């Protein structure tokens, strides 16, 4: 991997993790609180669909109005792109877990599906933001390749983006399955 691609790769991952990790933590905590409270769940299950329905890239102009620094604004947009999916799916998982006699395997499966969905949305958002505003990252690499007529850079960038997305998705999928299996075995031994 050449130097400039490595820097763009690291820049994209940094933006992803700075926005996604806080969204994942906050989303799991809020989703869990909503999911274990039936009244709160009924109140929030429709209301949260409103911000979830807004395409994350539409928040970019608003983020730039409130946060003058590009990196901060971009991180906030990535955060908001991921948090809604995590909250909604975690709340659903916690509710279904409660309805099935606190079957935590159900909750874990939903939480990790929430994380995977949130990660995908955040990753798409990172690439789009880099194409539009930030002068670095894999999205910028692709856009710059297009503007310069360097189609090899476009293909190379697409391969990196797809590979990174696939690896991160598989990491969450495998971790979720292992954790669900451990919890399931623990619940069987308690019976």
- Determine the pLDDT at residue 135: 85
Within 10 A of 24 (CB to CB), how many other CB atoms are there? Answer: 23
8 Å CB contact between 83 and 26: yes
Report how far residue 142's alpha carbon sits from residue 130's, in angstroms, rounded to the nearest whole number.
9
Alpha helices, DSSP H, located in the chain: 3-36, 38-47, 49-53, 60-66, 70-99, 104-132, 138-147, 151-190
- Determine the pLDDT at residue 186: 66
Whether 191 has a pLDDT exceeding 60, the answer reads no
Whether 72 has a pLDDT exceeding 60, the answer reads yes
Q: Which two tokens stand for residue 45?
A: 């299950």
pLDDT confidence bin for 189, thresholds 50/70/90 = low
- Determine the pLDDT at residue 1: 55
**Percentage of the chain lying above the pLDDT 70 cut:** 95
Whether 33 has a pLDDT exceeding 70, the answer reads yes
Of the CATH numbers 3.30.70.260, 3.40.50.300, 1.10.3720.10, 1.20.120.1200, which one belongs to the domain with range 3-190?
Answer: 1.10.3720.10
Whether 96 has a pLDDT exceeding 60, the answer reads yes
pLDDT, tens digit, 9 for 90 and up, residues 132-164: 988 899 999 999 999 999 999 999 999 999 999
pTM reported for the whole predicted model: 0.89
Q: Over the chain, what is the mean pLDDT?
A: 91
Within 10 A of 2 (CB to CB), how many other CB atoms are there? Answer: 8
Q: Of 154, 142, 89, whose CA–CA distance to 115 is shortest?
A: 89
């Amino acid at each position: 991997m050449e130097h400039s691609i490595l820097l763009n790769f690291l820049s994209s991952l940094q933006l992803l993790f700075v926005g996604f990790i806080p969204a994942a933590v906050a989303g799991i905590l809020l989703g869990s609180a909503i999911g274990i409270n039936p009244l709160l769940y009924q109140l929030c299950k429709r209301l949260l669909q409103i911000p979830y329905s807004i395409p994350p890239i539409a928040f970019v102009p608003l983020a730039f109005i409130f946060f003058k620094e590009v990196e901060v604004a971009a991180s906030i947009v990535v955060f908001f792109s991921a948090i809604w999916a995590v909250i909604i799916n975690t709340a659903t998982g916690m509710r279904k877990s409660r309805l099935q006699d606190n079957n935590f395997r159900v909750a874990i499966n939903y939480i990790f599906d929430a994380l995977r969905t949130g990660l995908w949305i955040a990753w798409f958002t990172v690439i789009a933001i880099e194409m539009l505003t930030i002068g670095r990252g894999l999205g910028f690499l692709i856009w710059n390749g297009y503007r310069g007529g360097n189609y090899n850079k476009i293909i190379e960038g697409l391969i990196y983006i797809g590979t990174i997305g696939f690896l991160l998705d598989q990491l969450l999928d495998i971790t979720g399955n292992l954790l669900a299996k451990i919890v399931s075995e623990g619940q069987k031994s308690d019976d």
